[in-house]
Amino acid sequence: MKKKHYKATNAIFGKIGRFVSEEVLIELVRCKSMPILLYGLGCFFLPKSDVNSIDFAFRRFLMKLFKTVNNDVIQDCCNFLKFSLPYDLLATR
């Protein structure tokens, strides 16, 4: 599932690159690649290590998008764009 998420995210980056704003990229990934990452996870109890692994897969996308490795910057960007990480989405389901 993470492999397919990376493939879908890289396809989005490959098609439009850095020609659009971050908001558009986030929305495309939210609609196209986030469902791939979360498909079927609502019916399983996941250990904390698996949830962290899924979150890391998505944090890597955000690190690539915002060109940073600082988790505080990533969290601020998520808050500013009103974007939830997979862990938060799984907790609300």
Name the residue with tokens 């060109």.
Answer: 67
| pTM of the shown model | 0.74
pLDDT one-digit tens code per residue, 31-40: 888 888 778 7
- Token pair, residue 5, equals 């998420």
CB within 8 Å of 23: residues ≥ 6 apart: 81
pLDDT one-digit tens code per residue, 43-67: 777 788 888 888 888 888 888 888 8
pLDDT one-digit tens code per residue, 73-88: 988 988 898 888 777 7
- Token pair, residue 66, equals 């915002």
* Separation of alpha carbons 7 and 19, rounded Å: 19
Helical segments of the chain, H only: 2-16, 22-32, 34-38, 48-66, 71-80, 86-92
**pLDDT value at residue 93:** 64
- Token pair, residue 71, equals 């988790």
Domain ranges (residues) in the chain: 2-92
